[in-house]
Amino acid sequence: MASLQTQVKDLVCILYSGEAAFIFRNPSPELEKLEEAPGSFIGEAYIPGIMQREYLETAKVEDFTAFWLK
């Protein structure tokens, strides 16, 4: 479940030590690197299997991308 404003190619993010998923949008699709994108917050999401840290306990390091929120 996610906000009605969620679109294809939005980012599903699990913030480190968080228990919820969040949806962010990159406002500039021409940016090549995720870390260059300021992004915008769309809302929270409920995704079975990744809530309450289930996904974080089994995920591999290469499944994650670090980025800064501005």
10, 14, 15, 51, 53 from 34: Cα distances, Å: 12, 15, 15, 24, 24
- Kindly report, residue by residue over 9-45, the tens digit of the pLDDT: 888 887 766 677 889 887 666 655 655 555 788 998 8
More confident residue, 33 or 65: 65
Structure tokens at 18: 């968080």
pLDDT at position 65 is: 77
Residue-range domain boundaries for the chain: 11-63
- Kindly report, residue by residue over 44-55, the tens digit of the pLDDT: 888 887 766 677
Phi/psi at 54 (nearest 5 deg)? -55, -45
